[in-house]
Copies of this chain bind each other. A is one copy, B any other.
Amino acid sequence: MIKIASTIKDVAKYTGLSIATISKYINGGNVLDKNKQIIDEAIKALDFKVNEIARGLKTNKTMTIGVLIPDFKNIFFTTVVSNIENVLIQNGYSTIICDYKNDNVLEKEKFNFLVNKQVDGIIIIPQGDDVRHIKEHINKNMPLVLVDRALEGVECDTILVDNMNASYNAVEHLITRGHKSIGIICGPDNIFTAVERLKGYMRVHKDYSMKIDESLVKKGDNDVESGYTRLNELLDLQVPPTAVFVTNYEMTLGAIMALNERNIKIPDELSIVGFDNLHMARIVKPSLSIVVQPMEQIGEIAANTILRRLRGDMSNYPSMVRLKTELMINQSVKDLRG
């Protein structure tokens, strides 16, 4: 094994100053200019870097944030996380990322794993079933930020998109193009975003005095398979809808697969609006109209929120940020008017 890294003791020996003086300088304390110079010289000559393990033992900080997400293969989650990691590393924090694979038991286990790793804070895209481990944690002195899903009874910083109005606007787009029979493929009732998106669908129907046909409301599991299955169920109805709104990316993928297999032409035979993402919208022909979420912004705001809390800035706690989505109108909606 080659040379072990230098420690503050080596810097002290090199400079003739004490460990306390070196530490004071490193941490921004007052030292004489001539001592500053010689300490800098020593640090450079010895290639000294503070041992963050030792520092952590004393300060009880690990300069690490834990991020817990439901699915590493979901480009929405990974885009959010990419932006979180980017902001955090610029502030000297590392990011431990855990994938709980949409499994509530695994979520709790990995949450506890992060706590035991003594991360300084946790950013979580929660599942939403049993949230006791999160609730219990609120009373501890460690910042927690929820992303994408709010949790009932969990009062802490939360970064969301405005799912209800995202849905409202998407379905309104269909309504204003003359569609009266609009199906929805939404997620399960335990997922916050699924519930909110369905509410938007309901609300816009009510606002336009349109009756909701419960047989057009299909609940999936936010995965490709259920998107596929539910789309087929909608099309197998005696009177299928003329349009479908699919409320997440994976189910949108599945719905498109089902349409491809049935050789159904978009938008001639069925109009469709999906959720995410920009690339997929353009490789489906004709290009899909989709709700676009501000993933970069979600990640940045989540990271900056937790950094503020870590700095001791508790103003406006607990905050809830609801970001606007954008409806990207392409060619997958047929105009039934005229």
Contacts and interface: CB of A to CB of B under 8 A. Distances in A.
A190 interface: no
A117 interface: yes
A57 B49 contact: no
A256 interface: yes
Contacts of A89: 98, 110, 113
A253 interface: yes
A54 interface: yes
A279 B71 CA distance: 15
Interface string A139-157: 1110000000000000000
Q: 8 closest A-B pairs (Cβ-Cβ)?
A: A72-B82, A256-B283, A260-B285, A257-B282, A53-B56, A97-B97, A94-B96, A78-B78
A32 interface: no
Interface in A51-96: 51-54, 56-57, 60, 62-64, 72-73, 75, 78-79, 81-82, 85-86, 89, 94-96
A316 interface: no
Nearest to A96: B94
A260 B282 CA distance: 8
Interface of A: 1-2, 49, 51-54, 56-57, 60, 62-64, 72-73, 75, 78-79, 81-82, 85-86, 89, 94-99, 110, 113-114, 116-118, 139-141, 224, 253, 256-257, 260, 279-280, 282-287
A98 B284 CA distance: 31
Nearest to A85: B99
Given A89-B98, A282-B257, A116 B81 contact: no
A274 B309 CA distance: 46
Contacts of A52: 116-118
A79 to B, nearest CB: 5
A98 B81 CA distance: 10
Contacts of A53: 53, 56-57, 60, 62, 118
Given A97-B97, A256-B283, A280-B280, A2 B140 contact: yes
A131 to B, nearest CB: 20
Contact of A96 (B49, B54, B64, B78): B64
B95 A96 contact: yes
B85 A97 contact: yes
A60 B114 CA distance: 20
